[in-house]
């Protein structure tokens, strides 16, 4: 093949190669094990053990979402240690501490990160925008596993459901409508950027709040993970269901006539719903079940 003599040809090729090399180099190598809350089954925790490096794993637990962070940190780090990992410890830290060199040093060699349940806003309040958050991102990019349950699942997506409502203040009828601008959300850690994660999904009947957010953000999928169930997200943005219940995926990317009525209730046509069980896989990019 004869190359063009165009003086811009070679620089263009070099730039393209550098761009794709950089994209390849920067792609995360790690995995996400996102648990919907409830019981953390043996199958799920054995998978976490395996992904973190087995007997050579070094795991840190961040328990700040819990109402009793110290007790939760002690208990969950012990449970993970009982799996047989090399080391498991917890860091119950403030935002100021999360920017300290001493905490960053504690994270040297960590291969697995676990976020506890509770109030997800407390987790992001302590870690969002800190050096510790960046260090966890580096662990993930290098091939580590990032996991969390309940609140620790909610923080995984860029759009993080807080659990609060902005309009309806009747706690006895929480999320009882498909009302626009009602579901409160904040910015999570953003390990998942193609979907909104919800948890305790089937057990606590959280369909309304996730459908509402999906219709307000139709470019994003809604992934509702039930209790005792998890999704294992691979670097290629496919995930596999692991656990005893199901995962619901709402897809409004091709929905028609997304609108509201006079009461600001949302409506739409042609929304897709996938209900996935143990062992099934889903492609977040192609938006389809692949197994």
Task: For residue 8, tell me if it sits in a domain.
Answer: no
Whether residue 20 is contained in a domain is answered as no
Q: Is 2 a residue whose pLDDT tops 50?
A: no
Burial 234-252 (b: 16+ CB within 10 A, else e): eeebbbbbbbebbbbbbbb
Number of domains in the chain: 1
Structure confidence by residue, pLDDT tens digits, 116-172: 999 999 999 999 999 999 999 999 999 999 999 999 999 999 999 999 999 998 888
CATH no. for residue 178? 3.40.50.880
Q: Is residue 15 part of a domain?
A: no
pLDDT, average across residues 107-111: 98
**131 within domain boundaries:** yes
- Residue 185 domain-assigned? yes
Could you list the residue range(s) of the whole structural domain that residue 165 is in?
27-285
Predicted TM-score (pTM) of the model is 0.90
**Is 153 among the domain residues?**
yes
**What torsion do the CA atoms of 213, 216, 217, 223 make, to the nearest 10 degrees?**
20
> Does residue 229 sit within a domain?
yes
Span 221-255, pLDDT tens digits: 999 999 999 999 999 999 999 999 999 999 999 99
Residue 23 — very low, low, confident or very high, per pLDDT cuts 50/70/90? very low
pLDDT band at 11 (very low <50, low <70, confident <90, very high): low
26 falls in which pLDDT band (50, 70, 90)? low
In a domain, residue 1? The reply is no
- Mean residue pLDDT of the chain comes to 93
Helices (H), the chain: 9-26, 42-52, 69-81, 95-98, 101-106, 120-127, 131-141, 151-154, 207-216
Backbone angles phi, psi at 139, to 5 degrees: -60, -45
pLDDT mean over 44-73: 98
Q: What is the pLDDT of residue 4?
A: 45
Q: 190: which 2 tokens?
A: 């953003």
pLDDT at 5: 47
Query: What pLDDT sits at residue 1?
Result: 42
């Amino acid at each position: 093949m004869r190359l063009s003599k165009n003086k811009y040809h070679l620089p263009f090729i070099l730039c393209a190669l550098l761009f794709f090399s950089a994209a390849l180099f920067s792609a995360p190598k790690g995995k996400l094990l996102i648990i919907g809350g409830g019981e953390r089954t043996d199958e799920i925790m054995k998978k976490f053990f395996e992904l973190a490096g087995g007997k050579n794993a070094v795991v840190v637990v961040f328990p700040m979402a819990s109402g009793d962070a110290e007790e939760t940190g002690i208990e969950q780090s012990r449970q993970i240690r009982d799996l047989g990992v090399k080391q498991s410890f917890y860091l119950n830290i403030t935002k100021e501490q999360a920017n300290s060199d001493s905490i960053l040093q504690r994270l040297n060699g960590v291969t697995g990160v676990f976020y506890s349940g509770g109030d997800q806003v407390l987790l992001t309040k302590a870690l969002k925008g800190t050096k510790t958050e960046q260090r966890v991102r580096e662990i993930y990019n290098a091939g580590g596993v990032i996991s969390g349950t309940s609140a620790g699942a909610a923080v995984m997506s860029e759009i993080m459901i807080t659990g609060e409502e902005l309009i309806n203040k009747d706690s006895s009828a929480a999320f009882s409508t498909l009302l626009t601008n009602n579901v409160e959300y904040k910015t999570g850690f953003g390990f998942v950027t193609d979907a909104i994660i919800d948890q305790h999904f089937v057990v606590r009947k959280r369909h309304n709040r996730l459908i509402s957010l999906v219709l307000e953000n139709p470019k994003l999928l809604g992934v509702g993970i039930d209790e005792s169930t998890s999704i294992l997200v691979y670097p290629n943005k496919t995930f596999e269901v692991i656990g005893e219940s199901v995962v619901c995926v709402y897809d409004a990317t091709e929905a028609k006539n997304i609108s509201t009525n006079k009461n600001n209730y949302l409506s739409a046509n042609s929304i897709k719903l996938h209900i996935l069980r143990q062992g099934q896989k889903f492609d977040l990019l192609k938006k389809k079940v692949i197994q």
